Chains A and B, each alone.
Chain A
């Protein structure tokens, strides 16, 4: 009883087209069959002390190929019967199209999936707007506590990282600008360089990218885990509208906080730039402030911050949509979360490019 199958013995020999097997024929010894065993048309099995389903599976397979099985005991034959009955019947498989047709089909499927994704994003945008309209018409349905909570999560908690990032970008711009502009003796224009690039583009774009990474993933994870847990279905049966309860406060919190974060990023970037200009170029803070106010139009700030609500909407809708797409397994939660972040960052950059074209066309 205490013997372990660690070292099972099978002896196999082929003579005159007959395969003689003796010892333990199990899943562990199945691989020890000699290569010429497949050609034997008669299998002599009286020497077998033990067989398992793997051996039975092999023997039944050989029997189907027309080989003759000799010398099985009653119990062994019964095991073979069991396996014979359980042998799976393969379903007829649909032949996969080959070569260029498969490539064409895959391309078509990807295109259809991309279009479907855009359609669903549009649907979620519509659902958010409908929920917003309902919230305005029936303020009683609106979850104010939830909105405040999400403002804190997406806004307040992101202030340190956004401010630090923007401060460092200001320093980098001042430093790089100084090196380049010094060649022309135009160091003082470094202020314009910093002001315009941060206020118009970098402040809000980098904030949006950080928030996309931070918040889009959090949205997908929180809504997705609720979806996995069937909490969203439970909400529906209780007469709660997930659009009102989940999507509206989250997206609205983003729309409120992203412009504020953008403004903080602008200020931190200018402070960083001013500090570096002072150290590197000897431009005093008062000089920096004077040139900033005299030369830089407030239009740049308006252009920059006007993009923020749009970016916020993009991040929020993509994050919520991905959360709702999570299936019942944890794997899809992870996949959707990373997809949400990538899509949100990509969409923010595309939107920024479109804004650039738009603003240059209208001449702002």
Chain B
């Protein structure tokens, strides 16, 4: 359970004159669920996009499995991309394909995989993401927001990635749905030996799943550590975040569950 599989060092991201990150360092360790929190506009999603290579950093390095993401190209890059799965905020499903076909898309890249096997595997992933059988043949427009996120998760899991990136997995879900999603993430991590990079606003999610928390503020990772460590930080924003009325409520339910 040791070793960093993602290492971000000295990251600087800039759009025009707007600096989002400056001198940002972050680690994701093997097998952990890391929760990335921060106020709106602090660049949580931008950080995720930079790590998976959708944004090019202005300076600094992003190393995943010890390889510099920015320096890779061609087959090496593709091979790396197969080792992670990304779930975007709204699911980002292809709207002209059914849920099963969406999950089959990454599986189509596998050479020699028979169509029946592809179909069976897609159905397995849909089921693992907690969707009923009937969801297989539905189009994304027929699904609720929560189901769309689950379908997006199923697609992210299609190739058995080692790292799972989740962007606001519980945003817009009702508390029961969000709770179920939290448990699903932990279960999948335990069953599939995943490392999870989770961007969230949801304090309940932080309590329920995250092993470690990284707080983004002032253009960098201000602090990172366990929940207990977060509670002792006396930076005003961090203190407000983890000691506000919502945080206390989340903590109370977290204790009640244990």
Contacts and interface: CB of A to CB of B under 8 A. Distances in A.
Interface of A: 1-2, 4-6, 26-28, 30-32, 52-54, 57-58, 61, 78-79, 82-83, 86-91, 327-332
A59 to B, nearest CB: 12
Contact of A27 (B76, B79, B113, B192): B113
A79 B126 CA distance: 17
B1 interface: no
B111 A88 contact: no
A53 B192 contact: yes
A5 B110 contact: no
Interface in B146-205: 157, 159-160, 191-192
B113 A331 contact: no
B76 A53 contact: no
B159 to A, nearest CB: 6
Contacts of A89: 133
A61 B120 contact: yes
25 contacts: A1-B5, A2-B65, A2-B66, A4-B65, A4-B79, A5-B82, A27-B107, A28-B110, A28-B111, A30-B110, A32-B112, A53-B124, A53-B128, A53-B157, A57-B120, A83-B124, A86-B124, A88-B123, A88-B124, A88-B127, A90-B133, A329-B140, A329-B141, A330-B95, A331-B95
B3 interface: yes
Contact of A79 (B127, B139, B191): B191
Scoring A78, A86, A328, A331 by chain B CB atoms within 10 A of each residue's CB, the highest score goes to A86
Contact of B117 (A5, A30, A87): A30
Contacts of B75: 6
B113 A31 contact: yes
Given A26-B160, A328-B141, A91 B133 contact: yes
B160 A4 contact: no
Chain B's interface size range is: 35 or more
A6 B111 CA distance: 12
Interface in B106-135: 107, 110-114, 117, 120-121, 123-128, 133-134
A35 B95 CA distance: 36
Contact of B83 (A5, A32, A83, A91): A5
B96 interface: yes
B112 A58 contact: no
A196 B65 CA distance: 79
A73 to B, nearest CB: 13
Given A30-B110, A88-B127, A89-B133, 19 more contacts: A1-B3, A1-B66, A4-B80, A4-B83, A6-B76, A27-B113, A27-B159, A30-B112, A30-B113, A30-B117, A31-B111, A57-B120, A86-B128, A87-B124, A88-B136, A90-B133, A330-B95, A331-B96, A331-B141
B27 to A, nearest CB: 14
A58 B134 contact: no
Nearest to A7: B79
A86 B125 CA distance: 8
B219 interface: no
A57 to B, nearest CB: 5
Given A4-B76, A27-B110, A57 B191 contact: no
B121 A54 contact: yes
A83 B67 CA distance: 31
Contacts of A78: 191
Interface in B85-106: 95-96
Nearest to A51: B160
A136 to B, nearest CB: 39
A259 to B, nearest CB: 40
Nearest to B96: A331
Contacts of B121: 27, 53-54, 57
A195 to B, nearest CB: 51
Scoring A31, A58, A89 by chain B CB atoms within 10 A of each residue's CB, the highest score goes to A31
Contacts of B65: 1-2, 4
A162 B83 CA distance: 58
B129 to A, nearest CB: 9
Scoring A54, A57, A331 by chain B CB atoms within 10 A of each residue's CB, the highest score goes to A54
Interface string B2-40: 010100000000000000000000000000000000000
Given A31-B113, A329-B140, A54 B160 contact: yes
Contacts of A330: 95
Contacts of A53: 121, 124-125, 128, 157, 160, 192
Contacts of A58: 117
A332 B96 CA distance: 10
A348 B127 CA distance: 50
A86 B120 CA distance: 12
Contacts of B136: 88
